[in-house]
Structure 1
């Protein structure tokens, strides 16, 4: 009797390590495999009231079954498993605990990665290829994967063997969030790629520049606003403002739209031809120039080149008059020495020379003892009046 009692006391200790064991199959276990657990007694001894545990928590309780079908294995199926059961040793029943068994579930294939060729920011009108990339485990390379492509909640392509999808001539509406899915044929294992944003880059349109000021032309001290806007184009858009090809300011529109530049008119130098330029990652466009005129330019503090010439205009005219007078003085002695041969008047019947240039007034010039006089007469050859220009010595003083 004492010997039997000693054997019964020893059984639980032995059974804790050898009399009850847990088996998991298949081995190795991959994602999608049907995982089965079996709680077995040593030498196929009958076990009842079996409980299965994972990481210390009860999975299931069976009255008489020693096998548990876990279902399709997933990566979450990894863990430490053990079981408990009752074994009858006449005339007593003992509860035994199996050793822990580590179940490793291998990954059948990693989550796919979606890539966009040539770039997640393609130019409008270009060809785009979506590629879903993953690879089966070498021990399961004979299996078959199917791929599908999705965008913003709707399916672009159902499951098929091709891991690529081509989109010819992308447009602005093709921008959005894309992802792909790889699934084992039969659907036991399905994995999605992370979302990837595709932004189709559209070139900027030619911007329009607007000059905003009062109803009349601005004057010094007034504020002028330059407003530049490109109707289309992918953001961000950088705007630059120019005055006669010289940059005067720039602004960025991160979300697209327009940009403006405010500046006070300081001098006449602020007048001129203004233009703006819109630029994004695809293209660059320049607006038509707009002319800004200022009123009251004569009151501006900074004179321009044309204004500086105004004070010198009378001086220039006076200088020209002085030069002309000096030229006449230079020619005067030559005139008193006698007329040019071409200017000798024809001889009248009386021997006097008649000037064809004389008219009805009387003119007399004196100088250096020579007297010129004009007198009227009647030609014998014509009934009209004519004049004689006679030369004679100056009479002696009385």
Structure 2
């Protein structure tokens, strides 16, 4: 975890992720945020920004002082002023005073003021105060203030200078000027006059100096008065040791005025450019002369009353000649015989006039001496005798200087060269050796020969002796074209006549390529075979082959490749090559392989169960296979358009997908085949998953609180899980009472008129062909007169026969009425026995000791491992039932009596546990 302040990392936090500021200050104000990393995916997480504003407990103190009079003399009061934050007005500050970093009086106190005597020794100095809160340890210092024993004198005008002839007024004052205080004025410790004001009506130059005053025991700081005097026009003079001013000499410039002033600004200018300026008493300027120092000079003097300019002083600096420069026109050192050559000599620096002279091999050329202002030239027509070394001299009376030597060579231009081939044939075969020879019959050596093909330089060679030069090379196709050569000895290049050469190139190994509209190639696409030999002189004949069977021929009259097109079928997969032929030579390409892809066909989809039926828990295999299509093929399996999985068949054939059946697997299934060329989907196959019946729940219901002979009891049997149709059988002491089939999930019921013989154990059985399940036993106790039991038994027998006759019709009517009227499902009744009508009595597998209880029911409400046996009592129960109830199980606040808990860990119950709510109490 990291914490940031104003966007910059402040600290790395530890395990507790806390960051503490022990003592907050103004520097801690700012915007704070932290950043960490999630442990799950290591993504960074940034918190919101929090702005923290730290307020000052109190402001920085300000130190002030004031002078006052008392009976004991003058006093100075020091005050240390600050402001406390209104919310912290209860804070009591301490104040300390210091002079020259030494504590005053007895240290710090709560008093922000301190009085000291103005005549206290060493009163003047640097003062400072501190304010602080002892509790928090916060202390702040004021700025340092300098306090003088004397009070300052004031000059009426704020300017430093006073012009000669102006009035000067000086005023001496002190803070809180007491009555009858005497003032005295002094200049350089000499007494001038008394009074608070000192006035000079007309200031003279002699009035300049330092003034100060005394007021009582106070002495002011000295005030300097400067008097400015107007000056006259300056005079500029130059001094040098020689009569002629020559470059390199030392010269002194002097600028003077006839009247002095406290301070004068002098400026020296050359051609209106300021060279330097000075305010010092020295007014002499000294420097060494160069050629650029020639020109007009003057100076300017300024004492504050406006600048005064001297007259112009003109200097002409004589510059001795430097080494002259000799040049040729034209500038080439080698020239052609008969051309006109001009020699030019010039010194760029020397003062005029200058005498120039020209020499060849130390001999002065006739009529070459000249006196010129812009250099000198010598012009003549060249002969072979003019070859040699030349130089010139320059002189202006301060010493002659000589130029560097320049050589001249007179040459003969070359004639037109002649180009020849060896061998002389204009048409040759690639690979043979050809020699080019170029020769100019006239021309001064050395001669540079160059060989060209079209405009490309092939070779170059410089010949210093002999006649001509040759260039030898092996021919390639690129050497066909026009050839020529040039010869050049520095005075113009000459070109030979052009000669043409045609190189015959045998055909090279051709390259065959496929051109298809898509990759990979698919049946029905138009394919183009292209064959091309990169090298070879036209015409070229191309032959195309498939598995060594020729498909066709094409001719290329002007070079390049050839093409062959056809529509693809599956049989066109295989090896392809081509041949190229010219001038009796044939070359065969490498073999290339074409693989023609076939789009996938509509797949066949089948379902295969591990048993004879699709039953929950069995393994179902989905198989998908496309009979045509280039592998690999990707198969996808779908249930109601939701993909279950996929599998790839890399070498053809189909693929399968297995899973264990649950109830939710009923529905429509299909598969898809995809080989990147086409996607095909199978027909839909419907699967119905059969669920084995669960253990049924038997419920006995009577309308009275106590089952008696003659009462009608309703027997209801229901399996909470199982695929219809379901056959239900009712048993009394393992004797079948009734069989009923139903396509509904609500179970079946029938009524029984009770006789004494109907006491005993009841159960029911559910079977949907995947295995019968039997309910738990429910015991029924019937009370009534003994003598009436036979009659009741006879009635029960008749009732059973009637019920068996009406069972089928009653069952059909029951299901039809349930759908139409939307009555509450039987599952609600069986799963929530606590919600029954309080007037009806429901019993569940009750132990034998509760003989006087009403009817029971063995309920596993939500098919969990725990079975709750429930006893429900009515408000109007008889006294016998109440007397027989055990006290320890009585719950006065609830109509339910808890009798027994039974654990039934059946596989069917475990399957439903996660989908049901808690069992009823």
Which TM bucket (shorter chain)? 0.3 to 0.5
Computing the radius of gyration over CA atoms, which structure comes out larger, 1 or 2? Answer: 2
Q: TM (normalized to structure 2)?
A: 0.22
Q: Report which structure shows greater RCO (CA 8 Å, sep ≥6).
A: 1
Q: TM (normalized to structure 1)?
A: 0.47
| Bigger share in helix | 1
